[in-house]
């Protein structure tokens, strides 16, 4: 299961019907660009007269959101889904709210899968996983109780639901099978079933925990656990990943070069696999879902990545968090492996650095939003922004 408050924030949503629009490579010798520590006193959090801005092309004004800010997630092309007392669609270029939905949002676990004209929210709650499909104005179009849809096959992580680029198809990874749901037809198809012994000569998949469409929408990528076909399932499982055609053809399955994987982070055809806390080794495996090429991004230290790994909207950048007396955020360029920024954020209340933060990275603006304390009810959320551009 995922870390609390990692790339997709822990959160739950109570949906209230229709909503309205408002009136890497080896980089062990990297240089370390570093900015001065940025004090962040809790008393200055979310002041109306001090919107957080880093450049003319980027703005994040927390005063526009009513109540405690509890999380952000990528929507489309520089827009964010922002959760506070209501659900907001926010444009980071203009600094304006594009739409909002008056739905209370108590903290639980959710994942967001944007598509061209909307977004799918998968919420993990007491009643199991539920997918809420919204249009571009945050009007609720459809609600799917996933365990009922999948005949009892549990969805164990909100990242197990992905949307095609047009939003007409959902890829859903249940614990034991991978499904394709045709929304216009209301039809569910099983693409693969672990009970059928899916795999090849080298590895077999035993459980699933993540799904994503490839950029052309012709294939579905997935990850989970498996074991060697030769030795049988008596051995300890290891992470596997694969792709399969949306018609159920041409299954490809392979090992991930990692002893333990916590989740799969999706970004424009790139799949990132943060190691579980017990297997942190200062690197991040990732693959190109279209080509199948495997890569590994090396961090600056062997223990880096244990306090959070975050991927940008387009998958061009990765950030890590390091908790201590202050919060240190490092940003890496994925293709070059270069460490492009190190930001130190100081706070006057140790509770803000006692829990993993949320970090949002915007590729085009080359700007970061850091939320601290958004999962702690007793304190206001602290917001910091910084630029990591050249």
pLDDT at residue 46 in the model? 32
CA nearest to 295, candidates 257, 331, 321:
257
Torsion sign across C-alpha atoms 223, 228, 234, 237: negative
Residue 269 lies in a domain: no
Whether the CB-CB separation of 102 and 96 falls below 8 Å is answered with no
Whether the CB-CB separation of 11 and 371 falls below 8 Å is answered with no
* Alpha carbon distance 82, 32 (integer Å): 31
pLDDT at residue 333 in the model? 97
Output the pTM of the full model.
0.85
Reported as type and span, the H/E element at residue 45 is none
Q: How big is the chain by its Cα radius of gyration, in Å?
A: 20
- Structural domains counted in the chain: 1
* Alpha carbon distance 269, 283 (integer Å): 20
Phi, psi of 17 (to 5 degrees): 65, -150
CA dist 372 to 115, 285, 344, 346, Å?
A: 28, 26, 13, 11
Residue 144 lies in a domain: yes
* Alpha carbon distance 294, 306 (integer Å): 22
Q: Which domain holds residue 198?
A: 105-229+236-256
Quick one: tokens of 305? 């990545």
Residue 267 lies in a domain: no
- CATH at 248: 2.120.10.30
Residue 220 lies in a domain: yes
Residue 360 lies in a domain: no
Return per-residue pLDDT of the chain as tens, 390 residues.
333 333 333 333 333 334 544 444 444 444 444 444 444 543 333 333 344 444 448 999 999 999 999 889 999 888 999 988 889 999 999 999 999 988 655 455 778 999 999 999 998 888 889 999 999 999 999 999 999 999 999 998 889 999 999 999 999 999 999 999 999 999 999 999 988 766 655 677 888 989 999 999 999 999 998 887 665 555 677 899 999 999 999 999 888 887 788 789 999 899 999 998 888 999 999 999 989 999 999 999 999 999 999 999 999 999 999 999 999 999 999 999 999 999 999 999 999 999 999 999 999 999 999 999 988 889 999 999 999 976
Residue 307 lies in a domain: no
Residue 247 lies in a domain: yes
**Quick count: other Cβ atoms within 10 Å of Cβ 257?**
14
Residue 265 lies in a domain: no
Report strand pairing: 71-74 vs 79-83: antiparallel
């Amino acid at each position: 299961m995922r870390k609390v408050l990692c790339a997709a924030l822990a959160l739950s949503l109570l949906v209230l019907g229709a909503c309205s629009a408002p009136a890497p490579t080896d980089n062990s010798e990297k240089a370390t660009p570093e900015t001065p520590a940025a004090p962040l006193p809790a008393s200055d959090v979310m002041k109306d007269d001090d919107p957080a801005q880093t450049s003319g092309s980027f703005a994040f004004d927390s005063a526009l959101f009513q109540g405690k800010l509890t999380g952000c997630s990528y929507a489309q092309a520089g827009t964010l889904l922002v959760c506070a007392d209501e659900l907001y669609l926010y444009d980071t270029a203009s600094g304006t709210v594009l739409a909002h939905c008056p739905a209370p949002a108590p903290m639980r676990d959710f994942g967001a899968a944007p598509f061209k004209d909307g977004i799918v929210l998968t919420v993990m709650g007491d009643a199991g996983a539920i997918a809420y499909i919204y249009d571009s104005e945050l009007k609720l179009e459809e609600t799917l109780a996933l365990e009922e849809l999948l005949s009892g096959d549990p969805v164990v992580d909100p990242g197990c639901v992905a949307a095609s680029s047009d939003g007409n198809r959902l890829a859903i990874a249940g614990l034991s099978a991978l499904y394709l749901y045709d929304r216009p037809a209301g039809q569910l198809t099983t693409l693969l079933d672990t009970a059928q012994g899916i795999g090849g000569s080298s590895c077999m998949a035993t459980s699933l925990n993540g799904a994503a469409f490839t950029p052309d929408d012709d294939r579905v990528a997935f990850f989970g656990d498996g074991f060697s076909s030769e030795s049988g399932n008596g051995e300890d499982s290891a992470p596997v990943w694969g792709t399969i055609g949306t018609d159920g053809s041409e299954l490809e399955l392979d090992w991930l070069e990692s002893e333990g994987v916590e989740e799969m982070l999706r970004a424009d055809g790139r799949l990132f696999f943060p190691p579980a806390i017990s297997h942190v080794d200062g690197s991040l495996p990732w693959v190109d879902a279209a080509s199948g090429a495997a890569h590994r991004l090396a961090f600056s230290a062997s223990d880096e990545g244990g306090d959070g790994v975050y991927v940008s909207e387009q998958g061009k950048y990765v950030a890590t968090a390091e908790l201590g007396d202050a919060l240190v955020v490092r940003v890496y360029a994925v293709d070059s492996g270069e460490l492009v920024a190190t930001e130190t954020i100081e706070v006057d209340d140790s509770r803000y650095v006692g829990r993993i933060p949320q970090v949002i990275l915007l590729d085009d603006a080359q700007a970061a939003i850091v939320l601290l304390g958004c999962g702690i009810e007793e304190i206001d959320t602290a917001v910091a922004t910084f630029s990591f551009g050249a």
